[in-house]
Amino acid sequence: MSWIKRNLLFTIVGALALGALGAIGFYDFTSWKRNSVAFDKLTEVYNTLRELKNHQPSPGNDKIDNIKAAKEQETQLRDWIRQARNYFQPIAPIPNPTNGLISDPLFGDALHRTIDQLQREAANANVSVLPQYGFSFQALIPHIKFAPGSLNTLAAQLGEVKAISEVLFAAGVNQLDGIERARVSEDDLNGPTTDYLTDSSVTNELAVVTPYAVTFRSFSPEIAQALAGFASSPHGFVVKSINVQPAGAVVMEQPGNMMMGGPGGPFGGGVGYIPPPPPPPAATTLPSKGGLQTVLQEQLLAVKIEVEIVKLLPKK
């Protein structure tokens, strides 16, 4: 204590210096910690920028603006989507009243008129079909009342069957053997199995996909025309599969209670027969320059096409 008394000034100055050193040390520590956190953040930002630059594609540099290019590509993609919608135009249902309300008499009348129209269009296009063929609606023809809740779906199918048939008529196929559609009504349960598929419509987040199948006989040029007709249609036809094999002489017939003419059904019945098409022309020999000759012979083919109609859902 005597030493402190003798060196009081020195002791006070030393204590102040020691406190100052402690304060400086604490300040340095907090500053180092803050700088360390800031450095870590800077390193993270730098690594992120380096990763972005190394990405394919990268955001770009002062000469190439990949973000701008991506926005332009997005605009082009949206334009393409708008243009693609032109090939997915909906097929109008039959009937299609302005108020959207379809009654039993309205649908029944439209069904008979549409089938009659398709029969006449087939005759005008020289396409053979069964007499009074119902175009997959045989089970519904005798009805004056239809299963509750089925009219809108049946009207949509009637419009789609008409559109499919007209593609085949425009292609000039020789003979339409049948059209198959999905069962959508209790009335379909009693129809001939040849009118129906086992598949049904599928709905996803973008569209409703409805399956159909058509069976016909024709030569190869008409098959190509039919495929081209589906491809160029604005109604979203997608050919899922095609099966082609040589066609034989086939008698077309239906059960008596399914016919629309003659005794036995609502419009009569019996067995419908269409004579087989004439035999293909004899082999044609084409002259060639060499000793070998090329022989071409067109053969009638039996064709089954599975086609789906893609119907886009309304925009949300």
Q: What is the pTM of this model?
A: 0.64
Q: Categorize the per-residue pLDDT at 25 as very low, low, confident or very high, splitting at 50, 70 and 90.
A: low
The C-alpha atoms of residue 212 and residue 234 are separated, in whole angstroms, by: 17
Radius of gyration over alpha carbons of the chain, in Å? 39
Q: What is the pLDDT of residue 263?
A: 33
The DSSP H or E segment spanning 196 is strand 196-197
- Beta-strand pair 196-197/284-286: unpaired
Most confident listed range (25-29, 113-117, 266-270, 287-291): 113-117
- Selection from 178, 107, 180 nearest residue 140 by Cα: 107
The C-alpha atoms of residue 138 and residue 149 are separated, in whole angstroms, by: 19
Tell which wins on pLDDT, 240 or 11: 240
Q: What is the pLDDT of residues 36-51, one digit of tens each?
A: 777 778 788 777 767 7
| DSSP letters spanning 161-181 | HHHHHHHHHHHT-SEEEEEEE
Six token digits for residue 274: 């269409």
Residue given tokens 């090939």 in the structure block: 87
* CA distances to 162, 185, 193, 234 from 146, in Å: 20, 8, 19, 31
Mean of pLDDT values over 226-240: 93
Q: What is the pLDDT of residues 235-291, one digit of tens each?
A: 999 999 999 999 874 444 444 333 333 333 333 333 344 445 555 554 444 454 555
Mean of pLDDT values over 25-40: 70
Tell which wins on pLDDT, 263 or 187: 187
Q: What is the pLDDT of residue 103?
A: 94
CATH, range 111-275+297-312: 3.30.70.60
- Beta-strand pair 301-312/196-197: unpaired
Mean of pLDDT values over 11-34: 66
pLDDT at 78 over 90: no
The C-alpha atoms of residue 269 and residue 263 are separated, in whole angstroms, by: 5
pLDDT at 316 over 80: no
H-helix segments, 55-174: 66-84, 104-124, 151-171
pLDDT at 88 over 80: yes
